[in-house]
Every structure is written in C-alpha cells, then in structure tokens.
Amino acid sequence: MKTSYLFPHRFKAVSGVVFVTAFLILLGYFIFDFENKFNFTTKVFTIIGDTGFGGGGSLLGDQVYFKLIENDIADEILIALIIVSGIVFGFAKEKHEDEMVAFIRLHSLAWATIANYSILLFCYLFIYGFTFFNVLMAAMFSQLIIFIVLFRFKMYRFYTTLQHEE
C-alpha cells in the first residue's frame, strides 16, 4: 500500500531540528520575556487588526481593515516555523515506511485529538479572564505537539521493545 500524502524522509531530520529550536525560542519569549530584549517591529499587512493600546478611541484602539500596521514580527516568524516544521516532521515518511507505521501514526493522531480536546475543555471550564488568552495561544499547536510526542514514543517502542527472533 502506498501512502501519497506524506513528506519525503529526507526532510525529517531538518524539520525536527527547526521544530525543537523554534519551540524553545518561543518558550523563551513567554517565560523569559525576550520580547522586550529583542525587537523586530516592522510594518505588516493586516486584513483585520487594531491600532493597539491607546491608539484610538476604544481600549484596544481603532479597528482597521486591509491596512499596513506596526507589529513585532518575532512571534509571527516563530509560529510559522513551528507549524510548518511540525507538520513536515509529524507527517514525514519513516525510514522503513510500511502499513504498521501508518497504523501507529493514525492511532497516535486519534489519541492526540482526544487528549487535546479533553485538555481544552478542562481549561475552558476552569480558566477564566485574561489568563485564558494563554490557553488560546497554546491551543494553536498543542494538538500537533501531543501528536508528535505520542507518535515518536510509540515508534521508539516499536523499534526497541520487540525482541528479535530468528
């Protein structure tokens, strides 16, 4: 059986390195507040946006459509890197791609979806106020991360724990 939607195996290593690096830097942004140390503010095109705190009549400023606004693009770059490299890493062919690997991948994806939405539901019910904004940030790639961790763990077990018999 041939699966056609997977990325070639040669992308796996490089996307894995980019994924982990970008994810650690993004964590740095949240935990160590890199945002105030490095600034990549530039003009960006927005479909819908606002002029920011104190930029207009209301609290969040005026809403603008199809305009250039000022924004720090570091988080945009990091999230683009995480999503693209995460998808490629999670859905790249294994060295020995066969139907059992496809089965393990599908199984991991199903469990990652269930786990992710269980966590989201829990957070939705018990986290309120501005802190919930953090939940929404994490929810952007939590499913991808849970899937990758689960799939790698299952593949690790698949490769190691089965005894070799002649």
Partner 1 sequence: MKNNIKVQRAIHNLTQQDLADRISVSRQTINALEAGKYVPSTVLALKLAKLFDKTVNEIFELEAED
| Interaction between residue 4 and partner 1 (CB under 8 A) | no
Instruction: Select from 30-38, 59-67, 98-106, 138-146 the region that touches partner 1 (CB under 8 A).
Output: 98-106
Cα angle 76, 82, 52 (rounded to 5 degrees) comes to 20
Residue corresponding to tokens 């139907």: 99
In whole angstroms, the minimum distance from the beta carbon of 147 to partner 1 comes to 21
3-state secondary structure at position 77: helix
Q: Which of 45, 153, 156, 159 is close enough to bind partner 1 by CB under 8 A?
A: 159
Please name the residues in contact with 59: beta carbons below 8 A apart, sequence gap of 6 or more: 53
* Binding mask of the shown chain, residues 126 to 155, with x at each position contacting partner 1 by CB under 8 A: ------------------------------
Q: Which of 26, 78, 101, 123 binds partner 1 (CB under 8 A)?
A: 101
Rounded to whole angstroms, the Cα distance separating 40 from 34 reads 11
Say whether residue 163 binds partner 1 (CB under 8 A).
yes
Q: What is the DSSP letter of 116?
A: H
Residues 92 and 14: beta-carbon distance below 8 Å: no
Residue 103 interacting with partner 1 (CB under 8 A): yes
Nearest distance in Å: CB 103, partner 1: 7
| Ramachandran category for residue 39: left, alpha or beta (phi over 0 → left; psi -120 to 50 → alpha) | beta
Applying CB under 8 A, among 63, 80, 98, 113 the residue interacting with partner 1 is: 98
Where does this chain bind partner 1 (CB under 8 A)? 1, 96, 98-101, 103, 158-159, 162-166
